[in-house]
Amino acid sequence: MNYVDTILKLIDNNKNEFIKIREHLHKYPELGENEYKTTEFLKKHLINWGYEILDFGMDTGVFAILNKDLSENLVAIRSDIDALPLKEESLLPYASINDGIAHCCGHDIHMSGVLLTAKLLANLKNEINGSILFIFQPAEETLSGSKNVIKSGIFNKYMPKEIIATHTWPYLESGKIGLLKKEFMASSDNFNIKVIGSGGHGAHPEDCVDPVVASAYIITSIQTIISRYIEPLDNVVISIGKIYGGNAVNIIPNEVSLEGSIRTTNNITRKKVHKKLTDISKQIAAGFGAKAEVSIFPGPPAVVNNPEIVEKIEEAGIKILGKDNVVYLEKPSMGSEDFAEYLQIMPGALFRTGTSNSDPNSKLGLHNSKVVFDTDSLFTTAKVMSLYVLNCFE
C-alpha cells in the first residue's frame, strides 16, 4: 500500500498543533534525570492517542507501546528528551525560561517529531501488523540514559527486531535527511593518567623525579598512537583537557594528573587505542624513574549503523521527501551518542535530520547558545519515521 499521501495529509491536519508542542518543549527544558514535567507532558499526549504506558521503574522518560498484543513483531523508535546546562541566547519568542538550561542540541525537535510519528501511527493502528515501542529516553547528554533504559529490563520483555532514531544537523538544510552506512558517530571514553614522581626544591632537580617533565613527554608521545599505530584512514582523536599538579613555582611536585578523552569510530580500534595509551604512558614514566597509573572510563561505543536498515530509511526518505532530499554524508561525526548502546543488543540506525534555513544562526554548531533549529524539520522526521515503520509491517 502507498502510505505517502495518507501521511502527508495527516501531517498537514496536525501542523499547527505540533508547532505549538515543539515551542512548549523548547520553552521548558529540563536536565537529564530531572525531566519530570517533560515526562508528564509526553505521557499525557501518548495516552490520549491510545498508547499504553509501560512502567519499568524509571523516574523520568517514557516507554509507550502501540498494538501491545502484536509485540512479537516489534519495531522501536527512540527520542532523547533532556537539555543542556547552557543559557540560551537565541532570542526566540519561545526561548527557554528555565535559567541556565536550554535545548541547544535540538532534543525538542526530536521529541516533537517522534511524538508526531506516534500520533500518525496511532491513526493507522488497524493497518499495522505488528507493535511499535516508543522510547523517550532521559539523560542522553550525560551519555548514561540508554544504559539505564537497558538496565530497566524492558528489552527482556519487549525486544525490538530493530530500532531507529534521528539527530538534528545544522550542516544540512531543513527538509533533508543525512545517512551513513556503518560508522556514523564516535565512541567517547575519558581517561586519567597520574604520573607519580618524587618532589623537591626546584633548584635541585637532580634530587627529584620530576613528574612534570615526564608528563610533557607523555602528552606529546600519545599523539603518535594516531600517526604511527592506527591506519591512516581510521578516525581517532585523543585530547588532553586538564593538567594539574603542584602549587608553587619553585617546588617540583610529587605527582601530575592528566585528564582527557578518546574518540574513535571503530570499536576494534577503540580497544587498541586504550592499550597503547596505557603502555606508552607507563613506559615513558618508567624511563624518567617515575610511575604512571592509567585509568580509562569507557563511555558509549561508536554508533555503527546496520546497512540494511539505512537502506530502508533511504527508501522511505526518497518516497516521501524526494530523491534530492536524501543524501549520504561525507564522513562520520566525532561527536558521540548513547544510542550506540542499543546497537550492541539489536540492529538499528541513526540518521540526521537537517535543521538549517536562511537564518545564519540555524547554521551554527550543536551546543551553541545561539543556535536555532528550523521547526519544519520535525515534520521531516515524522514523514520518514512513519513511512519507515509502515514499510516494516507490509
Q: Are the CB atoms for 52 and 68 separated by under 8 Å?
A: yes
- Specify the pLDDT at position 394: 86
Class of the domain covering 189-298: alpha beta
What are the backbone dihedrals phi and psi of residue 321, each rounded to the nearest 5 degrees, phi first? Answer: -105, -25
> Does the domain spanning 4-185+301-392 belong to CATH 3.40.630.10?
yes
DSSP 268-286: HHHHHHHHHHHHHHHHHHH
Q: State yes or no: pLDDT of 393 exceeds 90.
A: yes
One-letter amino acid at 226 equals: I
Number of CB atoms found within 10 A of residue 219's CB:
17
Please calculate the CA angle 231-314-154 and round it to the nearest 5 degrees: 85
Q: Are the CB atoms for 123 and 10 separated by under 8 Å?
A: yes
One-letter amino acid at 206 equals: E
What are the residue ranges spanned by the domains of the chain? 4-185+301-392, 189-298
- Specify the pLDDT at position 50: 98
Percent of the chain past pLDDT 70, that is, above it, reads 100
- Specify the pLDDT at position 2: 84
* Mean pLDDT, residues 18-35 taken together: 98
The reported pTM is: 0.95
221-246: per-residue pLDDT in tens?
Answer: 999 999 999 999 999 999 999 999 99
- Specify the pLDDT at position 189: 97
Q: State yes or no: pLDDT of 322 exceeds 80.
A: yes
169-196: per-residue pLDDT in tens?
Answer: 999 999 999 999 999 999 999 999 999 9
DSSP 221-275: HTTHIIIIIS-TTS-EEEEEEEEE--SSTTEE-SEEEEEEEEEES-HHHHHHHHH
Give 1's pLDDT tier (boundaries 50, 70, 90).
Answer: confident
65-83: per-residue pLDDT in tens?
Answer: 999 999 999 999 999 999 9
Going by DSSP bridges, is the β-strand pair 74-80/131-137 parallel, antiparallel, or unpaired?
Answer: parallel
26's CB contacts (< 8 A; 6+ apart) are 92, 94, 95, 96, 103, 108
Alpha carbon separation from 263 to 142, 301, 387 (Å, rounded): 16, 9, 34
Quote the longest CA-to-CA distance of the chain: 83
* Mean pLDDT, residues 116-133 taken together: 97
CA pseudo-torsion sign 177, 45, 38, 189: negative
Show the 3-state SS of 154-198: HHHHCCCCEEEEEEEEEEEECCCEEECCEEEECCCEEEEEEEECE
* Mean pLDDT, residues 263-282 taken together: 96
| CA atoms of 373 and 206, how far apart (whole Å) | 59
- Specify the pLDDT at position 351: 98
Strand partners, 294: 193
- Angle of helix 377-392 relative to helix 307-321, nearest 10 degrees, comes to 120
